[in-house]
Structure 1
Amino acid sequence: MRYLLVGSNGFIGKNVAKLLREGNEEVFLADRGNTDSENNVFVDLFDKESIKRVILKVKPDVVLNLAGSVENTEKALGINPVFTRNLLDVILGLKNMPIKKIIITGSAGEYGEVAGVGPVNEDTPLSGQSYYAKSKIMETSIAKDYKEKYNLPINIVRIFNPVGAGMHPRFLIPSILRQIEAVNRDEKNYIEISRLDSARDYINIRDIARAIILIAQKKKTKYCVYNLGSGVATSNGELIRQSLQLESSKKNIEVRQTSENSENRVADQADMFRLKSEFSWNPEISLEETIKEIISDQAKQTQN
């Protein structure tokens, strides 16, 4: 199959592209940062003519929309839903382009605060209040609407917390590791964290890539929306414990909580029944192995 991967320079995009190429799939990488070459194309998702040019050039069987903003600012509202609407409008207008599958990525942030305990399934109401969460709710609502109205072959993959080598250093695990390294260099004697009891569902980026490709390769799926997480809620306290153990820190490190108030529960554990039962998918990379990957990646970045 021919894949058009939009957003190829992002964290998820790079890993999906790598796995597709390892499987000898024909993949074309589209991004605003690309220049046209044999398998790389420039695309501006604000410009429908740019999108149309790329689709007519590539003639893809599968379109993977992994582009968008991860910034939690008002700007995201004018990016994520706009990108997806423009892409779907162009595909809808190309009547003779037999695209077999379109993948749109959502976020666990869409669920917002949730009641009770245990895994959060795909039928949970979407109540996310951050700018980023609202932008993804708008985006995935557009995708569901186009699937229902126009019978476009769309699947939405609602990703929980992607982690692994190459992730942005501002996120939590890299931040914890940098603080531990600072303690080991005697630059400080404590670690700061918002709350030890706050939890999230962390999933290795390579497991994410594998799941996205599995969904993309199945012509007809049982559901439109699939959660994608590890199915395990991991607290900040457990993240720090594992990180200290893997960094082999022998110092007596104080952990300071910067917030006195407990966090209301958010979607911290994915219900993975749909993906596991239909695709026989299971996460293969443990959180411990993932933290090791990030430690190694940060060491390489420091050397460079």
Structure 2
Amino acid sequence: MKSVQKKVLVTGADGFIGSHLTEKLVEKGYNVRAFVLYNSFNSWGWLDYTQAGIKKEIEIFAGDIRDPHGVKKAMEGCELVFHLAALIAIPYSYHSPDTYVDTNIKGTLNILQAARELGVEKLVHTSTSEVYGTARFVPITEDHPLQGQSPYAASKIGADQMALSFHRSFNLPVSIIRPFNTYGPRQSARAIIPTIITQIASGQRRLKLGSLHPTRDFNYVKDTVAGFIAVAESSLSIGEVINIGSNYEISIGDTVQLIAEVMGTQVEVETDAERLRPENSEVERLWADNARAKQLLNWQPLYSGREGLKRGLTETALWFTNPENLRHYKADRYNI
């Protein structure tokens, strides 16, 4: 699938990954319609801060993924759809699980129904490594059992299965991208890496964090965005679930020390009970097998291994320590 003037819809374009993806699609020559969450402030999320030259090329559609009429209207005339809109904060899913069903499952159903009725060429649906739960074997392949260890994870499993069912039942051209823990500029402080960086950048040297022993496979946002585009442009991805990860495992505790090294400081960690997941809900280990992405998409991470992670963390810390960016964050509060 070539990118020249192809009309695409990006849901969740106002968010962390969505804004980076939207910008990259414009740079590559796509004709982009950005679906952002309607709000009375007329905010486009992170797209408000994109370069003027890119911003003027983006068509904005403000709506709500939970509204089937609005979703179909947004999709009209689009050949390719990237579906990223979702509620993703795990702690908030303990608090308000009903909203996760409405947004993540019903919202995805709205996307699928519209895509089927309008005959889109391809739909790229966004999954998450959280659907695997704690690894039963590593590295985790796409055939690993699915385990809903949080309401968030359960809602994403439901959304993924709905997407696959539309491919199998109606031959809808669906591909599922399953990114592992993406990090980078603009990420919400509900995630561990921005939590660490913003506390250090705000002058704190005794950090308040949750569990340090779980491991994660961190994937820099540039690699994740490249994965989205590779999935969209490959005909081999239709009907497939594809991991996008670095194939490098590191504990949260070691990540703290690596960030401190990158930022030229020393820190101590204080366990904050409020930040701990319920015991059986904590995902203890994530480590991606990315062989399928390499085979089907010819994709591979540019920020892999310890040195790749360190390079990505350096770029991320540089962005967060800019006062103009840091002011968007409340480092003295726990963000759910």
TM > 0.5 fold call: yes
Amino acid paired to 2:221: I
Q: Which residue of 1 aligns with 2:117?
A: 93
The 3-state SS of whatever aligns with 1:104 is strand
Q: Which residue of 1 aligns with 2:78?
A: 60
Amino acid paired to 1:126: L
Deviates more, 1:5-14 or 1:258-267: 258-267
Q: Which residue of 1 aligns with 2:107?
A: 83
Does 2:254 align with 1:254?
Answer: no
- For 1:223 and 1:146, locate their aligned partners in 2 and report how far apart those are by CA, in whole Å: 10
Q: Which residue of 1 aligns with 2:60?
A: 40
CA contact (8 A) 2:89 2:190 kept: no
Partner of residue 242 from structure 2, selected from 223, 226, 229: 226
- For 2:281 and 2:38, locate their aligned partners in 1 and report how far apart those are by CA, in whole Å: 38
Q: Which residue of 2 aligns with 1:132?
A: 152
Partner of residue 140 from structure 2, selected from 112, 120, 134: 120
CA contact (8 A) 1:204 1:287 kept: yes
Does 2:234 align with 1:214?
Answer: no
Please list the CA deviations of residues 213-257 of structure 1 after superposition, one character each: whole Å capped at 9, or x if unmatched.
Answer: 1111123437510011111111122212211211112x5x43445
- For 2:81 and 2:182, locate their aligned partners in 1 and report how far apart those are by CA, in whole Å: 21
CA contact (8 A) 1:8 1:67 kept: yes
Deviates more, 1:219-228 or 1:139-148: 219-228
How far the C-alpha of 1:181 sits from its partner, in A, is: 4.2
CA contact (8 A) 2:174 2:239 kept: no
Q: Which residue of 2 aligns with 1:272?
A: 290
Partner of residue 256 from structure 2, selected from 240, 251, 259: 240
- For 1:262 and 1:93, locate their aligned partners in 2 and report how far apart those are by CA, in whole Å: 41
Does the C-alpha gap of structure 1 residues 52 and 271 become closer, same or farther in structure 2, counting only changes over 3 Å?
Answer: same
Does the C-alpha gap of structure 1 residues 52 and 226 become closer, same or farther in structure 2, counting only changes over 3 Å?
Answer: same
Q: Which residue of 1 aligns with 2:216?
A: 200
The 3-state SS of whatever aligns with 2:74 is helix
Amino acid paired to 1:91: A
Does 2:177 align with 1:145?
Answer: no
Amino acid paired to 1:83: G
Relative to the length of structure 2, the TM-score reads 0.79
Does the C-alpha gap of structure 1 residues 172 and 288 become closer, same or farther in structure 2, counting only changes over 3 Å?
Answer: same
Does the C-alpha gap of structure 1 residues 225 and 303 become closer, same or farther in structure 2, counting only changes over 3 Å?
Answer: closer
How far the C-alpha of 1:88 sits from its partner, in A, is: 1.0
- For 1:288 and 1:205, locate their aligned partners in 2 and report how far apart those are by CA, in whole Å: 14
Deviates more, 1:288-297 or 1:135-144: 288-297
- For 1:62 and 1:229, locate their aligned partners in 2 and report how far apart those are by CA, in whole Å: 23
Does the C-alpha gap of structure 1 residues 93 and 180 become closer, same or farther in structure 2, counting only changes over 3 Å?
Answer: closer
Q: Quick check: which has more Rg, 1 or 2? A: 1
CA contact (8 A) 2:149 2:282 kept: no
CA contact (8 A) 1:101 1:219 kept: no
- For 1:211 and 1:83, locate their aligned partners in 2 and report how far apart those are by CA, in whole Å: 23
Please list the CA deviations of residues 248-271 of structure 1 after superposition, one character each: whole Å capped at 9, or x if unmatched.
Answer: 12x5x4344568999976451011
Relative to the length of structure 1, the TM-score reads 0.87
Aligned residues: 292
- For 1:16 and 1:263, locate their aligned partners in 2 and report how far apart those are by CA, in whole Å: 30
CA contact (8 A) 1:195 1:262 kept: no
- For 2:230 and 2:326, locate their aligned partners in 1 and report how far apart those are by CA, in whole Å: 35
Partner of residue 13 from structure 2, selected from 8, 25, 42: 8
How far the C-alpha of 1:180 sits from its partner, in A, is: 3.3
The 3-state SS of whatever aligns with 2:127 is strand
RMSD: 2.6
Please list the CA deviations of residues 59-95 of structure 1 after superposition, one character each: whole Å capped at 9, or x if unmatched.
Answer: 111111111111331021221011110111122223x
Q: Which residue of 2 aligns with 1:17?
A: 22
- For 2:105 and 2:281, locate their aligned partners in 1 and report how far apart those are by CA, in whole Å: 28
Does 2:305 align with 1:287?
Answer: no
- For 1:46 and 1:164, locate their aligned partners in 2 and report how far apart those are by CA, in whole Å: 28
CA contact (8 A) 1:9 1:33 kept: no
CA contact (8 A) 1:7 1:13 kept: yes
The 3-state SS of whatever aligns with 1:169 is coil
Amino acid paired to 2:83: N
CA contact (8 A) 2:149 2:283 kept: no
Does the C-alpha gap of structure 1 residues 30 and 177 become closer, same or farther in structure 2, counting only changes over 3 Å?
Answer: closer
